[in-house]
Structure 1
Amino acid sequence: MSETIQHYLADFKQLQNIKKDDWFSKQRQSAFNIFQESGFPNTRQENWKYTDVKPIAKNLFSNIANSNVVINDDEIDAILFKDLECIELVFVNGTYSEKYSNIKDLPGNPTIKNMANALLSDKDFLEKHLTQYVNNDSNSFTALNTAFIQDGVYINIPPNLVLEKPINITYVSKNNSNIFATHPRNLILIGENSKATIIENYIGVDNTNYFTNAVTE
């Protein structure tokens, strides 16, 4: 087993211990088994012939979300669209920030929440939909994301609802002394005759060395 796989395995075991009572643990394990077997893709594979991911594979990123990173209001203000009236979800180093987000008083009662809360409150629905629209077997980055799901966005818009305000999703990464990876998972379901504009932003602060492995389904 390579040093890289050993590193990710150690982080995965730590996460599984933290989430040992999580209903999603079996799906995590299955996805990690796929990643452990396939590893990161290389240029000998047809789909990755022109994309060398060695700079990602050689770094031993920490994969456990750190919610203790300090980020100030000025840094956030410089990132967000000041003049945009929107439904706002902000994540700092992979963890949802209620302070900088605004998902209250939504017209038409759509479900818009962060994935960590949804995994607790919407278990029955997510069991039917989460991971159903992507293929862990065909992409090791997707498998890695599924194994390390900790947060992200869950959006479910009922039929015949048009959201006038865009949904602005911002993932902010800031160095906390260790190089780190985040694995945001976004699940977006739009009902028949409904409409929404969704903006995704991935931004690093202060030349942070980080790896964002996001999956939207």
Structure 2
Amino acid sequence: TAAQQNDWFLHHLSQSAGDLPGRGLVWLNTHRKRARQSLPQLPALNREQEAWRYTSIEGLLQQRFIPASTDIGAFKTLDINPWLLSGLDAYRLVFVNGRCLPLPAGFTDLPDDAVLSSLRNALSTHPEQLSNWFEQNGSRAENLFTTLNSALINDGMLLHIGKDVVLEKPIEILYLNLGRNHSLLVQPRNLVVLESGAGATLIERYVGGDPSSGFHNHLTEIQLSGGASLEHYRL
């Protein structure tokens, strides 16, 4: 029911809203506030809607998840090599429980006029660009899950490739879940922007590093200008 979905949303909103980056950015605060306030206008998700005809969320709504910690100190010495695609020469970002790990510079050292960054860092280094891109998508259709992601924007990926820049190597994004016996709520927010004539191959991989359950409420927005080409894989 709508009431059940609202209760589920508000529970996770109250649990997760404490430590969010970019609190000094007016546009980001507005985006988050707009998402929170839109909840009463959202239709309840049910099988009468075409997009949800074959998907029931009743079991999910019975569960309560714990927000993943923003402290990644315990994972800074983690050996990620066993989880990466073997033998692949690629640019990379690695997220553990939704937070981006610091990696050697070569993993994200793209050519000039191309950026691969965690969203959390980009809020400090590219705030004006992010503001423009988020505003362009502000009127997009929302549902319970995209709204929760928007209300709690925390970390994720920014990929921006400039005009006529074609990446010769693929990009591997690894999402590693290490709940350690906790059911975590993980919400990466990704923005992929390719200018006209740009090209890239993006591989997103989801790996459970232990048997813990969790909810991965992932949202990726992709903007391709004329003549741009993106090969996108999710594994």
Q: What's the TM-score, normalizing by structure 1?
A: 0.85
Determine which of 88, 91, 101 is the counterpart of 1:84. 88
Q: Aligned AA for 2:103?
A: K
Q: Distance in 2 between matches of 1:127 and 1:14?
A: 22
Tell which deviates more after alignment, 131-140 or 186-195. 131-140
Alignment of 1:70-149 (within 5 A): 70-71=74-75, 73-74=78-79, 76-99=80-103, 102-130=106-134, 132-133=136-137, 137-149=141-153
Structure 2 equivalent of residue 45 of structure 1? 49
Whether contact under 8 Å (1:43, 1:52) holds in the other structure is yes
Q: Distance in 1 between matches of 2:102 and 2:72?
A: 14
Structure 2 equivalent of residue 166 of structure 1? 170
Q: Aligned AA for 1:21?
A: G
Q: Distance in 1 between matches of 2:180 and 2:104?
A: 19
When residues 192 and 129 of structure 1 are mapped into structure 2, their CA distance, relative to the original with a 3 A threshold, is same
Alignment deviations for residues 1-40 of structure 1 (CA, whole Å, 9 cap, x no partner) = 6542341231254246x76434311211111222465386
Whether contact under 8 Å (1:171, 1:203) holds in the other structure is yes
Task: Provide the alpha-carbon RMSD of the alignment.
Answer: 2.6
Structure 1 equivalent of residue 24 of structure 2? 21
Deviation at 1:205, TM superposition (A): 1.5
Q: Aligned AA for 1:103?
A: F
Structure 2 equivalent of residue 210 of structure 1? 214
Tell which deviates more after alignment, 87-96 or 34-43. 34-43
User: Can you give the 5+ residue segments of structure 1 that lack an aligned partner in the other structure?
Assistant: none
Q: Distance in 2 between matches of 1:144 and 1:175?
A: 20
Deviation at 1:173, TM superposition (A): 0.9
Sequence identity of aligned pairs in percent? 29
Alignment deviations for residues 21-79 of structure 1 (CA, whole Å, 9 cap, x no partner) = 343112111112224653862224332121011232221112354434745645x2221
Task: Give the number of equivalent residue pairs.
Answer: 215
Q: What's the TM-score, normalizing by structure 2?
A: 0.80
